[in-house]
Amino acid sequence: IEHPPAPNEEEALARRNRRRGLAIAAFPGVLVGIVVAVVGIALVDVIAGVVAGAAIGIVVAVATWRSATPALVRALHAERADEDDYARVFNMVEGLCASMGLALPTVCVVEDDARGAVTLGRRRRLAVLVITSGLVDALDPVQLEGVLAHELVHVKCADIVPATMAAAIALPFASVVPGTANLVHALAGRGREFRTDQQAVRVTRYPPGLREALACMIDGPASRPPSALAGRAVAQVTRWLWTVSLPDSSGGRRSGGGVAGELDEAAVRISALDEW
């Protein structure tokens, strides 16, 4: 395993991810602002057009930044988890956050037999950890700790920020524009899941736990309607953001086989964990 980043390197990485997330969130505002400015210049004058374009562009960018996480949580039909019902999850998250120096995320649950977890948010202290009910039912404590550590590493590195912004912006277009899953994956950062595994097992100090969790998640049942993960737009835009990628748009099961050159495929990561 590569050496983990030093604390100052972690903060530098987190700052870069936040800046990248801000840039992604600003993109719709820039587009809208340009359109408004062009129309304003054509219909009124240059100064009015530029001022109107800038003002509306800023409003759109800020709205995108603030609404991205709630929009995705609603689209996933995720509900806030009851601490009594999910005491094991809350206890593990509290322990991991204490050891990693993180604020507690909001924990939400998607009622689905599939086994998955994803973390969203525009800031580390405003992170939302989304898990499926099937994940909690299927994993033993060691495996669950590996998955939760993996998701909290995403929070610590702040790579949830560009991932969340990219998924939220792509969400309205996922049903009509092909390739949105791959676009979000590229903006979030290819190889992010592979790299996060490395840091997660340094937190838990037990690679087999995460390895067995990934294998269990691959072998789990596929999502079925009316679950939001059963082939809907939100499943596609968040496909590569889950601990194990969701099925593609054809609705197939999670793939246990790797894709050449794709580090984020679970099979590739399992092979790496076997060597760690």
Q: What is the pLDDT of residues 89-146, one digit of tens each?
A: 999 999 999 999 999 999 999 999 999 999 999 999 999 999 999 999 999 999 999 9
* Rg, C-alpha atoms of the chain: 19
The whole-model pTM stands at 0.92
Q: What are phi and psi of 232, to 5 degrees?
A: -80, 170
Q: What is the pLDDT of residue 260?
A: 46
Band the pLDDT of 257: cuts 50, 70, 90: very low
Separation of CA 116 from chain center: 11
